[in-house]
Amino acid sequence: MGMTGANKDQMQIDLCGTNVDGAAANWFHTKVEAWNRTQQQWTFIDLIIAFYKWFIHEVTTQNANTKYHNTQYSKAKGDFAFYNELEHHAYGTITR
């Protein structure tokens, strides 16, 4: 469909902008499209990394925080298992 390859960044960025909504659409308009944006030139890679930093990373951190705070001691598993589970949740390395 001609959407990949050299010199296709602007088309990829525009396509991305038309396929986001809510907070992501607001962010896209403010950071990528607005006339007074701080970064004037974007590549598609820049856009994907910025989306990750603003949205995916935040969600991952929130999920780890929630799991950490919801971890409960189990008498059957013991102290060491409880400690390990807390530590894993703190670093966001465990999924349930």
Of 92, 50, 51, nearest in space to 71 by CA = 92
Judged against a pLDDT cut of 90, whether residue 67 lies above it is answered with no
Could you read off the pLDDT of 10-32 as tens digits, one per residue?
999 999 999 999 989 999 999 99
Closest CA to 6 of 32, 43, 49: 43
Task: Please write the tens of the pLDDT for every residue from 30-42.
Answer: 999 999 999 999 9
Q: Stretch 51-72: mean pLDDT, rounded? A: 78
- Are residues 73 and 82 in contact, defined by beta-carbon separation less than 8 angstroms? yes
Q: Return the HEC string of 47-77.
A: HHHHHHHHHHHHHHHHHHHHHHHHCCCCCCC
Supply the mean pLDDT for the chain: 84
User: Would you list the domain boundaries of the chain?
Assistant: 9-91
pTM of the model: 0.57
